[in-house]
């Protein structure tokens, strides 16, 4: 009994902090999503489901932002997971060269998002940027683009930055997962004459799937919350082509001062992330069971 009380006592500080920074703000957002609060004055009116109705029926920018977010998320999840897994397969052994390369690949992760945004904005500059300059030097000037000014490719240009920014971080997770696989299994597969693809499909992937689940889930949430990178590079432009839900909610709340409407957007935002994450966990778990 005394031990149980001690456990509860140690849990209280964490629960208090969790309540202050998550539970209370979440409940507040849900409450204000049914109001027309402007965020500046204490007065507000209850509007029922009006905010939600407007979002789903009469808010083109929200729908476009959601579409941009899905494009961004799919691109980042696919390529960031793929590249981090490939790099991890090559760098799984703890040799000096591999440890150095892991550190190099991880280095961008420790940079601030704003720093990364400024570096890549310069690289993407249509006149003086490194990318167009290199293309010109390679006699590929026809491939030069206004990478952040072209509405058709701007969201993908930022997605490439996001992949570069966090692939090294996901690489470490995959390396940890790969190193946890018993070496005996590989030795048995070698004796049985299995080729590399069979070893990967029957041993490596099923046993590294838990790490992949973490990578995919984290990358998904990360791509939905890439506010600072997008805001610093394009502020959602041109013509809302890089506007995602996080930047839209910010603009609605702190530029238009429609906090009630922004709260409704944030509630939907939270539900979308939860649904996608749960679906990913179930799909990856089902694949793991099938193996």
The secondary structure of the chain in percent helix, strand, coil, rounded to multiples of 5, reads 75, 0, 25
> How confident is the model at residue 290, as a pLDDT?
53
48 located within any domain: no
Rounded CA gap, 162 and 240, in Å? 19
Determine what percent of the chain is predicted with pLDDT higher than 90: 66
Burial of 264 (0-12, 13-18, 19+ CB in 10 A): buried
Report the CATH number at residue 113. Answer: 1.10.3720.10
Rounded CA gap, 123 and 105, in Å? 19
Dihedral sign computed on CA atoms, order 141, 142, 146, 152: negative
29 located within any domain: no
- 123, HSE (Cβ side, Cα atoms, 13 Å): 12
247 located within any domain: yes
Q: Is the pLDDT of residue 249 over 90?
A: yes
DSSP classification of residue 244: -
Per DSSP, the three-state class of 84 is helix
7 located within any domain: no
Give the chain's radius of gyration (CA, Å).
23
Question: What digits encode the pLDDT tens for the residues 177-212?
Answer: 999 999 898 888 888 888 889 999 888 988 998 899
Contact 79, 166 (CB under 8 A): no
Domain count, the chain: 1
37 located within any domain: no
Q: Which domain holds residue 280?
A: 60-290
Rounded CA gap, 14 and 38, in Å? 32
Rounded CA gap, 168 and 106, in Å? 4
19 located within any domain: no
Place of tokens 């998550």: 22
27 located within any domain: no
Q: Is the pLDDT of residue 287 over 70?
A: no
Question: What digits encode the pLDDT tens for the residues 41-80?
Answer: 989 999 999 999 999 999 999 999 999 999 999 999 999 9
């Amino acid at each position: 009994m005394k031990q149980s009380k001690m456990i509860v006592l140690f849990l209280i500080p964490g629960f208090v902090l969790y309540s202050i920074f998550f539970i209370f703000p979440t409940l507040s957002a849900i409450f204000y999503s049914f109001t027309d609060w402007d965020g500046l004055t204490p007065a507000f009116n209850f509007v029922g489901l009006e905010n939600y109705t407007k979002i789903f029926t009469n808010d083109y920018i929200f729908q476009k932002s959601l579409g941009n977010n899905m494009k961004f998320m799919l691109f980042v999840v696919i390529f960031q997971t793929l590249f981090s897994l490939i790099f991890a397969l090559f760098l799984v052994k703890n040799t000096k060269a591999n440890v150095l390369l892991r550190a190099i690949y991880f280095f961008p992760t420790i940079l601030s998002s704003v720093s990364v945004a400024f570096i890549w904005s310069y690289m993407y500059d249509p006149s003086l940027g490194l990318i167009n300059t290199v293309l010109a030097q390679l006699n590929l000037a026809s491939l030069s683009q206004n990478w952040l000014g072209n509405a058709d490719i701007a969201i993908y240009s930022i997605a490439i930055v996001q992949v570069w920014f966090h692939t090294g971080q996901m690489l470490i997770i995959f390396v940890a997962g790969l190193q946890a696989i018993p070496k005996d299994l590989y030795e048995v597969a070698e004796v049985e004459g299995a080729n590399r693809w069979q070893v990967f499909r029957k041993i490596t992937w099923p046993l590294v799937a838990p790490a992949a689940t973490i990578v995919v889930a984290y990358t998904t949430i990360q791509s939905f919350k890439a506010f600072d990178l997008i805001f610093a590079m394009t502020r959602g432009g041109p013509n809302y082509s890089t506007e995602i839900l996080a930047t839209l909610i910010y603009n609605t709340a702190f530029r238009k001062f429609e906090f009630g409407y922004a709260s409704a957007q944030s509630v939907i935002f939270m539900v979308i992330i939860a649904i996608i994450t749960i679906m990913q966990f179930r799909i990856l778990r089902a694949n793991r069971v099938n193996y």
